[in-house]
Amino acid sequence: MELWYTERQTPHVGITCQVKETLYTRKTPYQELAILDTFQFGKMLVLDGMVQATEVDEFVYHEMITHVPLHTHPRPRQVLVIGGGDGGTIREILKHREVSRAVLVEIDKEVVEASKEYLPRLSSSLEEERVEVLFEDGIQHIKSRENSYDVIIVDSTEPVGPAVGLFTREFYQYIYRALKPRGILVAQTESPFFNGDLIRSVYKRISSTFPLTRLYLGSIPTYPSGLWSFTLGSKEYDPLEAGEIKENLDTRYYNQEIHYSSFKLPGFVRELLEGE
């Protein structure tokens, strides 16, 4: 008998994958956690019924959320990741030798533990010397910090459950205060096709907090619609003036051309950002 997994991405759209084996399922104090082994996408991390990462396409998301801000900031020494318990973003951060400390704040310890056991391609860097892993609420962590980080990456799940507070104006104001004077924020901000209202509201909230705000895109097959957005808020540095991009980082999606072209937005996305 065949086993299939379906994520219902909207009331009328979903993605379905054939499953080899269910490797792990558990209801944590925060969410439903599952790791599946699929035929097309390899091992897949699922939280509350939504795909977070797969072995086949995770590199796109993790490279884009990481290397754009770390190449924009000329001296990213202290980097914070809120969420991202699978470890993929930390893996990409450590490719930058100038980073002296990478802090991961993950509210759900069981996501990290399951990723270490079943997703070593993503999580192996969590044991590195430059990494500090804290199991606590990202909002509470950021509220108690000031002038602490060069780059903050919000690697959150969708805005439901424990991640709801990571999309508010107040949260971005906390981040602004926690960043150093020339700091940069990047947050994943969902699909332009399916989450236009959310993207517009988050863009406006970040724009009202940071002097410079830019949205950029990446293509991730297992995410809703396959087109994904990231929003960058900067106190000073402009990603469009990042200069020459290092090409020795062992990336599969991100490069100099992608860095700049990802900010070339389709007309419908521009209209979305300009709407009320």
Which residues belong to the active site?
Answer: 155
Q: Was 31 annotated as part of a binding site?
A: yes
Q: Was 106 annotated as part of a binding site?
A: yes
Other C-beta atoms closer than 10 Å to the C-beta of 225 total: 17
Q: Was 157 annotated as part of a binding site?
A: yes
Residues ≥6 apart with Cβ < 8 Å to 228 = 61, 64, 188, 190, 191, 217, 218, 219, 220
> Which segments of the chain are extended strands (E)?
3-10, 13-27, 32-38, 42-47, 50-54, 78-83, 101-105, 131-134, 149-155, 179-188, 212-219, 227-234
Task: Please give the span between the terminal C-alpha atoms of the chain, in angstroms, as a whole number.
Answer: 50
Residue 199 phi/psi, 5° resolution?
Answer: -60, -45
Q: Was 162 annotated as part of a binding site?
A: yes
Q: Which amino acid is at 220?
A: I
Q: Was 150 annotated as part of a binding site?
A: no
Pairing between strand 131-134 and 101-105? parallel
Report CA 272 to chain centroid distance, whole Å: 21
Per the annotation, binding residues for spermidine are: 62, 86, 155-158
Per the annotation, binding residues for S-methyl-5'-thioadenosine are: 31, 106, 137-138, 162
Per the annotation, binding residues are: 31, 62, 86, 106, 137-138, 155-158, 162
